[in-house]
Chain A
Amino acid sequence: MSKESQIHPYQRPDLEFKSSSLSVPVLVLGTNDLSVIEQQLLLKIKQAPDFFRYSPLIIDLQELNKLALTLDLTDLIAQLRKQDLLPIGIRGGMEEQNQAALKLGIPKMSAQSNSASTQAKPVHKLPLEPEPEPEPVKNEAEPSETRVITQPIRSGQRIYSHGDLIVLAQVSAGAEIMAEGNIHVYNTLRGRALAGVQGNTEARIFCSDLQAELISIAGNYKISEDLDSSVRNKPVQIYLNELALIIKAL
């Protein structure tokens, strides 16, 4: 994750370990029949080929072990790789399965979360672990979730984007634009602009002429009255720094 630090410029170290939680599809196996697995995988992949191509994958053996079924991991992994899936970990396996996986260069993950068990720590996430099923749909749609608006957004209109929002025309006073990601306005921004409305504190707002009634990132907002005259009517970017809205001239 690259985080610019405009405030305190510092020497970037050559090497850095950072912890990060990612969402990775988990393949939960309910059978040890490789041909059945192959067929069902093909079907699934067909639904969202772009999502599955070279997708990292975690193999979950818990169900399989509950049913006391055995499976040759070498064959399974070869099978998955053949279908352009890249297994990066296994979880819920017995000791010998974990050992076998390790030999193939695949580490054991803790059963509860996606992070490797060696650095297992509480993950601040919603308790609901995402099922592997609905994820493809969500992730696949992501690139197209950027909304581009070319017409002026008039007073009283509301625009919402599940990803980024790009506006090429003006945003009038009394209009409201919202995005789960970043907001770009390549014109005058007079209305309200709310970025990161689902809590993304990394979201930013960019506009070429700031006259907004209200700006907000992940719920941290400023009203027009609080805007400094040094940034008013100027091209700016707005971002969050430790819950403080920073408005910087571009």
Chain B
Amino acid sequence: MARIIVVTSGKGGVGKTTTSAAIAMGLAKKGHKTAVIDFDVGLRNLDLILGCERRVVYDFVNVINGEATLNQALIKDKRCNQLFILPASQTRDKDALTVEGVGRVLEELSKDFKYIVCDSPAGIEKGAHLAMYFADDAFVVTNPEVSSVRDSDRMLGIMASKSKRAENNEEPIKEYLLLTRYSPERVKLGEMLSVEDVQEILSLHLLGVIPESKSVLNASNSGIPVILDDKSDAGQAYEDIVARYLGEDRPHRFIDEEKKGIFGKLFRSK
């Protein structure tokens, strides 16, 4: 049976798709057969971040409607043969998703995948609801600012009450906090919430902090998941997160300001 991971946040623009792509690639690179599904029907992005936008033939909605088989719709990543992408439909809207349909697709995927990463759309409506409904684990992506933290809190509440696990009185979804776009310098200046602040408000297990980094934008624009850029701080942070999720004990990085010498300041790897 596959483990279903939802990457969610409530708020938009915090890095859900970047995280989904990175996490899925990270798991696949560790040798686990992984599928990543774009639930953002109508605003398809995941294929861009993963650089497979020119190979999309069928999509998630086609599979739900029985217009294509899963094998026809799944796109195999060219860099890692353990990673498969199920893109969203760009011409439809979230109403095309149904509980039964999504459940059927996830069940079929579960048969031969180890991990299924569900990239949730922003908001708390149908798309976001269905993305988290079947989840076993939730990666809650949060930016260190108050509105993102509150939206994450709202999403956590919905997961605690409206997921399949909650409805069936099963063990609740395991929730992990991913703090993205973190800048220790700005925290020091009081412009950003600190890791401690966010953890105090959300009281969640911190899986990792991803620093604000130029490499993320570069990676997105070139369709290469940032985790493949092992020189970048963000890439390393995602690598850490995948390792921690798989049970490895790695100390947290990127939380405190780096002490850089004069050369470090001149040649920042950002």
Q: Which residues of A contact B (CB under 8 A)?
A: 151-157, 169-170, 172-175, 188, 190
Contacts and interface: CB of A to CB of B under 8 A. Distances in A.
Contacts of A152: 156, 203
A151 B153 CA distance: 13
A169 B200 CA distance: 12
Nearest to A152: B203
A173 B200 CA distance: 12
Interface residues of B, number: 14
Interface in B142-173: 150-151, 153-154, 156-158, 160-161, 172
Contacts of A169: 203
Interface string B58-99: 000000000000000000000000000000000000000000
Contacts of B172: 151
A12 B113 CA distance: 74
Contacts of A173: 150, 153, 201
B160 A172 contact: no
15 contacts: A152-B156, A152-B203, A154-B153, A154-B160, A155-B150, A155-B157, A157-B161, A172-B157, A172-B202, A173-B153, A174-B150, A174-B153, A174-B154, A175-B157, A190-B201
A170 B203 contact: yes
Contacts of B156: 152, 154
Contacts of A156: 153-154, 157-158
Given A154-B153, A155-B150, A155-B153, A172 B158 contact: no
Interface of B: 150-151, 153-154, 156-158, 160-161, 172, 200-203
B interface: dominant SS: helix
A154 B154 contact: yes
7 tightest CB-CB pairs across the interface, nearest first? A154-B157, A155-B153, A155-B154, A157-B157, A156-B154, A172-B153, A154-B156
A17 B261 CA distance: 81
Nearest to A157: B157
Given A151-B172, A154-B157, A157-B157, 9 more contacts: A152-B203, A154-B158, A155-B154, A156-B153, A156-B157, A172-B150, A172-B157, A173-B150, A174-B153
A153 B161 CA distance: 10
A154 B172 CA distance: 14
Contacts of A188: 200
A172 B161 contact: no
A239 to B, nearest CB: 28
Contacts of B200: 188
Nearest to B156: A154
Nearest to B158: A156
Contacts of A151: 160, 172
Nearest to A169: B203
A174 B153 CA distance: 9
Nearest to A188: B200
Nearest to A172: B153
A157 B161 CA distance: 9
B153 to A, nearest CB: 4
A153 B156 CA distance: 9
B136 to A, nearest CB: 17
Contacts of A172: 150, 153, 157, 201-202
Nearest to B159: A154
Nearest to B146: A173
A208 B150 CA distance: 21
Contacts of A175: 157
A190 B160 CA distance: 18
A189 B227 CA distance: 39
A156 B123 CA distance: 13
B203 A153 contact: no
A73 B153 CA distance: 64
B159 to A, nearest CB: 9
A188 B199 CA distance: 13
B143 to A, nearest CB: 16
Contacts of A153: 157
Residue from the set B151, B157, B203 with the largest chain A CB neighbour count within 10 Å: B157
A176 to B, nearest CB: 11
Contacts of B201: 172-173, 190
A24 B202 CA distance: 47
Contacts of B161: 157
Nearest to B150: A155
Nearest to B153: A155
Contacts of B151: 155
**Residue picked from B153, B156, B203, most chain A C-beta under 10 Å:** B153
Contacts of B150: 155, 172-174
Contacts of B203: 152, 169-170
